[in-house]
Chains A and B, each alone.
Chain A
Amino acid sequence: MPELHALLVGTAVAAPVVAFAMLATLIWGRDSVSERAVVDITRFAFFVSLVASLSLMTWSFLGAHSFLVDLGPWFEVGSHSFRITFLLDRLSTSLMTLTTGAATLIGYFSRTYLHGERGHPRFYLLLNVFAAGMLILVSAGSLDFLFVGWEIVGLTSALLIAFFHERSDPVRNGLRAFITYRICDVGLLTGTIMLHHFAHNANFQPELGPGHWVAGTAHLDTGAATLVALLFLLGAMGKSAQLPFGGWLPRAMEGPTPSSAIFYGALSVHAGVYLLIRLTPLLEDAPLASAAVIAVGAVTTVLGTLTGRVQTDVKSALAYATMTQIGLMFVEVGLHLPGLATVHLLSHATLRIWQLLRAPAILHEMHSLQGALDHEFETGRWLDNIERKFKGPLGAFLYQRALDRFYFDDIGDRFVVAPILWTAQRFAWLEARLVSAKSSGGVRRGPETVSDRQLEKVS
């Protein structure tokens, strides 16, 4: 039986990796690749992965125990062994099925949606990498292995936001998302290292508790648990677009609709919630960190709702709605209700992927439906009623702040990004002076300046 589990989980993760390798070889070796070949390879890989995930999920709901599959060490030195372990319980297998299901759906949808696009093979290439990364993330048996999937998901996310790279704005937004991820990944990586330091291990079992879903206790004292949990919270905030790191999410909608749906509707954006759900035993030992999780979630929920109400395009409104719902999931996790957060996560992901895939055609469909039924739909009446209660100075104040997205992006740019860039430029200037002083005549400002002058001379 353990061999069968290992085979199934290995197949689920390996299928998109093999498809990626095949597509990469095809694309690298040729100037143009058949769309049909690309789609067929991807769909087959996702189908295989879906079948394997469904089998594992069926087993986990019918079986009695969660299961740790150890495929052996990836590498080991001394006492440190980086083992490829998968934790198969109801939480992970549910999310594996969600991942492969969503990826299969997007694979089908994009065949026609992106037909004729120049970046068609690139989209499928990145979709395969993303699926592999997400499967590793949700099934990893240790935080070390989870980090591998986490990084892959972050990178593919940034690259797909910049999918339409002929325009500068998507590229700029992709870079912004990546920078946010990296800043917050410092929290995840440092937290993992600290967990190794305190617990000499970063496995989900037995350090963070066994159980069908998530249970047990973490073997850390309160101070250590609080420090580690706060670092993980930082990582989760970046990936799940919680304030003040949520500015990248509406900008991420610059990517193609299928990638928005799978990344920012269904999967990637929920990675932070998944991490916190997995770490519930740790949070139970760290009341301060739990309070911080609740505070972050609550603030994001309120401000996300207000900001979402003033958006004028459907994808931005959906982005803020996503942020709001994830804020609620943070609150649930902070209140130590991982079961509720899991149900919320799964239902929200399926609803949001449907909404985002329908978003480009929503007006057309609504008008067609209204024409057929011969009357107009009334939507959001109760929310409009609430809004009416805020008429007056308070309403105007909130409206203005919501339009400005509560200045979170401006504050981040001014007080975090700008000082780092300023420091970097001063260091670059110092370095140029150092190089100039130590090198032969003609060098004044730095290496690129030298080449500029040489090129001018050559031309």
Chain B
Amino acid sequence: MIEILRALPFLTAVIGIPAFGLLAASTTRHFATSRRRAAFSVALSTMVAAVAGALVFMDHGVVFRDPLLPFLSLDVQSSVLPLLTNLVAAALLFLAPKRDLRRTGVLDVMWLLVVSSVLFATQHIGLFVLLWAAMNLPVGAWLDRGIDGRGHRAHWILAAITTIPVLAVFGRMLYAGAMSTALWTDAAPELAPGDDIILFALVVFASMGRMGVFPLHVWFPVLVAQDRAPRSIMLLGPLSGAYLILRFGALFPEAFARDLPWMAVIGIVSAMFFALVALGQKGQLGAATYLVLSQVGLVFMGMADTNAMSLNGALVLWFAQGVAGTGLLVMALGVRARRGAVLLDRFHGLVAGAPHLAGAHFLFGMAVVGLPGTITFVAEDLIAHGFVHHHPWLSALYVLVTALNAVTYLRLFGRVFLGEPTTGAVGCPDLSVEERGAAAVLAATLIITGIVPYPAVSARSRTTEDLISMECESGADCEISGREFP
């Protein structure tokens, strides 16, 4: 009974409130009204998700199910990840400039929020695959009836690289008769030797596409630049690609364990490549975009270890980058909306006109690169210490990437906001009072979880334990995992 009382209201609220918000936002043609309705529902949903997360945390990660919602459950994933998705959506709806958001963007954000919330809560593999594919649909543009031709190729690239591999895996599992009840917990595919490796490789491929890992990232910078930023940030920010690996990794534990070193190498190569690309960018938006992609590469790398420290670090970094990366990108979009293309070959001095914009940009940027006191620092510390036991050279590269990203960010901040103000910089509009409030809430989330990281770290520990025990049972080298595993 208690479980019903907990699961039903929260799942209904976490999924139902954004769905209602989507409906309310789509019934008006007026941008401001649409945005206001969506923002209100997201704020409400965020609070509910936070309470749900706290409840699950207090119950040490117990999974709550409800007979009325047979394919949904309330556990660590379905409480923390919707909270993250809600925070990303809130950042976009409250802080993204009108020029980038538009009504299409509002509807896209709400659609992706609803779909993601169900995706993170579902226990049904078929429903999962359906939702995974549905995330690629340009629903906002359809509802807005304002489809234009730009960016379609990038959309189709993303849809193809993320959907086709997952559909292929699902089809193969159906063919193998693996899903008697179609639930994750009961799926146990009996595959021919080697098939699991191919299927898991397809999962990793799809995940790399959604997470923006090199070389399957091209959709992200293109869509950010082509006025599709809200949709692309909603796709990247909650890092649903990482969730795909966690879910399917449980079905192919041996392949998961075997592919870990390759995943780690791909992750660090991606992070290093984007760190250098970010440093070589001429524009502020490009630099911010590639900084975020570089940090995402570190999440991918951290997931590829059997060590409790690095896995926990990766999961915490997943949350941290979702919030901080979105904040930084939204601030960079705000700079573009106010001042156009801001090139990094000279100083612009925008702080003279927009000190709060500069402050928020700095907080989010420092959170992205792991300033002590933010949750990213905790995550990076765990990943670095975790990797040193098995792969010291990867750990050294990891430290280099974080150092490079910090230099790139401070250079970016200095060039955009400091120095002699350029013409019009003094009159650059600052953040409004509402925007300051939203930025403060996001920044407070990063700082409070950074100063008191215990809840964030332990909320992830259950997932980590499941993963490590799964990998260790598959024969991966787990001798220095920090825990006793058979």
Interface residues of A (CB under 8 A from B): 28, 73-80, 82, 144, 147-148, 151-152, 155, 158, 162, 165-168, 171-172, 174-175, 178-179, 182-183, 185-186, 189-190, 193-194, 196-197, 420-421, 423-429, 431, 434-435, 438-440, 442-443, 446-452, 454-455, 459
Contact = CB atoms under 8 A, between A and B. Distances in A.
Nearest to B370: A151
A118 to B, nearest CB: 9
B360 to A, nearest CB: 9
A148 B418 CA distance: 26
Given A77-B312, A77-B382, A148-B377, 4 more contacts: A171-B419, A420-B279, A431-B273, A440-B153
Interface in B256-293: 273, 276-286, 289-290
Interface in B354-380: 356, 359, 366, 371-373, 377-378
B320 to A, nearest CB: 13
A199 B454 CA distance: 25
B192 to A, nearest CB: 34
B384 interface: yes
Contacts of A424: 276-280
Given A165-B419, A439-B154, A455-B341, A186 B407 contact: no
Interface in B368-404: 371-373, 377-378, 381-382, 384-386, 388-389, 392, 395-396, 399-400, 403-404
A196 B349 contact: no
A447 B436 contact: no
Given A78-B481, A182-B403, A183-B403, A440 B309 contact: no
Contacts of A162: 414, 418
A245 to B, nearest CB: 14
B26 to A, nearest CB: 26
Contacts of B343: 448
B414 A427 contact: no
Contact of B281 (A28, A74, A448): A448
Nearest to B351: A165
B227 interface: yes
Contacts of A152: 372-373
Contacts of B278: 424
A77 B225 contact: no
Contacts of A446: 221, 225, 281-283, 286
A456 to B, nearest CB: 9
A247 to B, nearest CB: 16
A448 B225 contact: yes
Contact of A429 (B280, B382, B464): B280
Contact of B347 (A171, A178, A190, A420): A171
Contacts of A28: 356, 359, 436, 440
A76 B281 CA distance: 38
B465 to A, nearest CB: 10
Given A423-B276, A435-B221, A167 B388 contact: no
11 contacts: A28-B436, A75-B382, A75-B454, A75-B457, A77-B309, A78-B312, A194-B388, A440-B151, A440-B152, A443-B226, A451-B285
Contacts of B377: 148
A443 B388 contact: no
Given A196-B388, A423-B276, A439-B218, A175 B352 contact: no
Q: Tell which of B336, B343, B377, B407 has the most Cβ of chain A within 10 Å.
A: B407
A451 B215 contact: no
B342 to A, nearest CB: 9
A158 B410 contact: yes
Nearest to B454: A75
Contacts of B382: 75, 77, 80
Contacts of A182: 403-404, 406-407
Contacts of B419: 165-168, 171
A75 B382 CA distance: 10
Given A77-B308, A155-B371, A440 B280 contact: no
A394 to B, nearest CB: 40
A447 B221 contact: yes
Contact of A78 (B273, B308, B359): B308
Interface string B335-355: 010001101000101011000
Contacts of B98: none
A440 B336 CA distance: 22
B382 to A, nearest CB: 6
B435 to A, nearest CB: 12
Contacts of A427: 273, 276-277, 280
A151 B406 CA distance: 11
B385 A80 contact: yes
Contacts of B483: 78-79
A448 B276 contact: no
Q: Which 3 A-B pairs have the closest CB atoms?
A: A78-B482, A448-B283, A428-B280
Contacts of A425: 280
Contacts of A82: 378, 381
A166 B152 contact: no
A408 B281 CA distance: 27
B483 to A, nearest CB: 5
A170 to B, nearest CB: 8
Contact of B371 (A79, A151, A165, A183): A151
Nearest to A420: B279
Contacts of A171: 347, 414, 418-419
Contacts of B442: none
Contacts of A172: 414
B218 A450 contact: no
A39 B464 CA distance: 47
Nearest to B336: A451
Interface in B290-309: 290, 307-309
Interface string B413-424: 010011111000
Contacts of B414: 162, 171-172, 174-175
Interface string B215-254: 1001101101111000000000000000000000000000
Nearest to B387: A193
A427 B294 CA distance: 13
B30 interface: no
Contacts of B276: 423-424, 427-428
B104 interface: no
Interface string B318-340: 00000000000000000010001
A75 to B, nearest CB: 4
Q: Tell which of A171, A428, A448 has the most Cβ of chain B within 10 Å.
A: A448
Contact of B340 (A179, A440, A455): A455
B411 interface: yes
Contact of B286 (A434, A440, A448): A448
A79 B382 CA distance: 11
Contacts of A420: 279
A189 B392 CA distance: 13
Contacts of B436: 28
Contact of B283 (A151, A189, A447, A454): A447
B23 interface: no
